[in-house]
Amino acid sequence: MPTKSVPTCPQCGGPLKAGAMALCYREEDDRRTCRVVWGCSNQHVWWKWADRPTAELELCPYPDLMNG
C-alpha cells in the first residue's frame, strides 16, 4: 500500500484519515469549493481545499463534520 500521501496531524503527529467533504465559499476566487475534512485519533480535526493537494491543513471549526 502506498503511504507517502498519508497526511499527519500538525498538532500531535498522528496519522489522519479523510472524512466528509464540505462545500465552502472561498473568497479568494469567489466561488464554492469542496474542502476535505481530516481527523486523527485524538479528535483533532483539520480540513484543506480539495483542489489544492499541496495546500496546508487548516484547523476545522466544525469538528462535527468528522462524526458523519
Q: The C-alpha cell of 38 is what?
A: 481530516
| Minimum distance of Zn ion from residue 30's CB (angstroms) | 32
Residue 65's identity, in one-letter code, is L
Asked whether 57 and 31 are in contact (CB, 8 A), the reply is no
Span from 7-15, 22-30, 45-53, 56-64 in contact with Zn ion (CB under 5 A): 7-15
| Minimum distance of Zn ion from residue 13's CB (angstroms) | 7
* 40 near Zn ion, rule: CB under 5 A: yes
* Residue (of 37, 9, 39) closest to 24 by Cα position: 37
Contact residues toward Zn ion (CB under 5 A) are 9, 11-12, 14, 40, 42, 44
